[in-house]
């Protein structure tokens, strides 16, 4: 049995909301000549709340809002259900007009890969890929002045030994664009990406401040939307792609490899887990600049990202899946924090093999400090 006070509160609430909605119906019915040719964007520009709501109602008049009499002809539970349906209609109409009005309700992987119909923005639009940053201070514990490789053509002779500073600068740019959308029904997008990172011996005036290393990394990936739960995480992404990475140098400094890469993405609120196993496309003979690169750069990596308030943290782990003395890999920790507007501070810590491609079989620890313009998410 519903108490008298609950019945009174319900009727009062119904009356108040209906009184607010009733002008919308009345205005929309009388607005034919005014609102007939107005676009949804023009409706949203109306200053008066009543006129704006009336314009919305006229534009979407297939959803008819009931008069107060309808509400009071039903019991309280039906009235509440009717009110809820009416609120949902208004919310849906608003979302149709402004589908990207708030990114707070869009998951991190949706923001990055446009997985759902609501987040798709079409093709050939540039967007962020990997982080974009500049680290004026990038220091290493161990310089690699004589890069080596099992291929004799790619081993630097002692006569060509570089005179490097432990302190240099590092910067990275990265972007992607969607080339084809919805390849299989309403799923499956083809993305093209490009990342370039450079190490600049800007403090090495004796050697005329050269660029020590630059990595070029174009790739193409086919990404699919998924939806399953495992260990409290939502599996949202599955992808496969082709990745090329090289340093664009001539022998003996040349380094390159090609990979078929898989992407498996999980998320939960402000946490993202990306798993990327890969397979190296074989090369033979003199064309292979770095025959043992898998032994050091590994067979895949795992990257986690966590957003806490305005602080962003990420951790990358990479390994060759071997044990004992043959076990090699790397770990990288990144922390970005707000400075001013879109400008964020950036701290990067790296330990292991392959911080850059020329250093694929060289182990060292690196510490970088600078600014970030674009983060993972």
* CATH number for the domain harbouring residue 277: 2.40.230.10
Query: Based on the domain organization, do 61 and 117 belong to the same domain?
Result: no
Query: Based on the domain organization, do 10 and 152 belong to the same domain?
Result: no
Helix (H) or strand (E) holding 224: strand 211-230
- Specify whether the CB–CB gap between 148 and 296 falls below 8 A: no
CA distance 18 to 10: 12
pLDDT tops 90 at residue 81: no
Percentage, residues of the chain above pLDDT 90:
68
CA distance 26 to 18: 12
CA distance 285 to 152: 11
Looking at residue 82, its pLDDT comes to 58
**Domain end residue (candidates: 98, 125, 145):** 98
pLDDT tops 50 at residue 18: no
Looking at residue 50, its pLDDT comes to 63
pLDDT tens string 218-237: 999 999 999 999 999 999 99
Side-chain-facing half-sphere of 67: CA atoms under 13 Å: 3
Average pLDDT value for residue range 293-319: 97
What is the chain's mean pLDDT, rounded? Answer: 84
Average pLDDT value for residue range 6-30: 46
Close Cβ partners of 258 (under 8 Å, ≥ 6 residues apart): 242, 243, 244, 245, 280, 281, 283
What residues are annotated to the active site?
244, 246
Query: Based on the domain organization, do 356 and 314 belong to the same domain?
Result: yes
∠ CA 343-349-351, rounded to 5°: 155
Reported confidence tier of residue 70, pLDDT bands at 50, 70, 90:
very low
- Specify whether the CB–CB gap between 348 and 368 falls below 8 A: yes
Asked if residue 143 is part of any domain, the answer here is yes
Q: What range defines the domain where residue 314 resides?
A: 108-374
Average pLDDT value for residue range 73-77: 52
Residue that wins the pLDDT comparison between 54 and 150: 150
- Three-state secondary structure call for residue 368: strand
Task: Among 11-20, 28-37, 112-121, 277-286, name the one with the lowest average pLDDT.
Answer: 11-20
Looking at residue 68, its pLDDT comes to 46
Query: Based on the domain organization, do 49 and 134 belong to the same domain?
Result: no
pLDDT tops 80 at residue 84: no
Average pLDDT value for residue range 125-144: 97
Average pLDDT value for residue range 234-243: 98
Residue that wins the pLDDT comparison between 8 and 184: 184
Looking at residue 88, its pLDDT comes to 57
Asked if residue 103 is part of any domain, the answer here is no
Query: Based on the domain organization, do 287 and 307 belong to the same domain?
Result: yes
Domain count of the fold of the chain: 2
Query: Based on the domain organization, do 254 and 175 belong to the same domain?
Result: yes
The pTM of this model reads: 0.72
Query: Based on the domain organization, do 209 and 137 belong to the same domain?
Result: yes
pLDDT tens string 324-358: 999 999 999 999 999 998 899 999 999 999 999 99
């Amino acid at each position: 049995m519903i108490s008298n006070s609950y019945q009174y509160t319900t009727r009062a609430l119904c009356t108040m909301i209906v009184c607010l909605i009733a002008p919308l119906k009345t205005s929309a019915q009388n607005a034919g000549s005014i609102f007939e040719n107005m676009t949804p964007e023009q409706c949203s520009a109306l200053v008066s709340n009543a006129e704006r709501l009336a314009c919305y109602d006229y534009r979407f008049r297939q959803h008819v809002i009931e008069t107060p009499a309808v509400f009071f002809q039903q019991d309280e539970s039906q009235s509440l259900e009717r009110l809820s349906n009416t609120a949902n209609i208004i919310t849906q109409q608003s979302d149709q007009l402004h589908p990207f009005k708030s990114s707070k309700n869009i998951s991190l992987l949706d923001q990055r890969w446009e997985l759902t119909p609501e987040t798709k923005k079409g093709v050939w639009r540039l967007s962020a890929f990997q982080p974009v940053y500049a680290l004026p201070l990038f220091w290493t514990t161990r310089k690699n002045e004589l890069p080596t490789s099992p291929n004799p053509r790619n081993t630097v002779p002692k006569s060509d030994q570089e005179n490097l500073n432990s302190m240099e600068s590092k910067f990275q740019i990265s972007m992607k664009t969607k080339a084809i959308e919805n390849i299989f029904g309403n799923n499956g997008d083809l993305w093209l990406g490009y990342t370039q990172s450079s190490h600049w011996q800007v403090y090495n005036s004796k050697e005329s401040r050269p660029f020590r290393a630059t990595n070029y990394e174009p790739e193409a990936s086919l990404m699919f939307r998924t939806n399953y739960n495992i260990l409290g995480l939502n599996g949202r992404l599955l992808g496969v792609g082709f990745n090329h990475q090289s340093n664009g140098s001539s022998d003996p400094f040349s380094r390159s490899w090609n990979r078929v890469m898989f992407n498996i993405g999980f998320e939960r609120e402000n946490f993202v887990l990306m798993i990327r196993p890969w397979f190296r496309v074989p090369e033979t003979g003199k064309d292979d600049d770095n025959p043992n690169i898998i032994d050091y750069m590994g067979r895949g990596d795992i990257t986690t990202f966590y957003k806490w308030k305005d602080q962003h943290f990420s951790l990358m782990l990479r390994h060759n899946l071997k044990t004992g003395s043959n076990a090699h890999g790397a770990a990288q920790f990144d922390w970005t924090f707000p400075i001013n507007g879109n400008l964020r501070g950036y701290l990067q810590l790296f330990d292991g093999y392959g911080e850059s491609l020329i250093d694929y079989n060289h182990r060292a620890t690196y510490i970088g400090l600078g600014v970030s313009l674009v983060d993972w998410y």
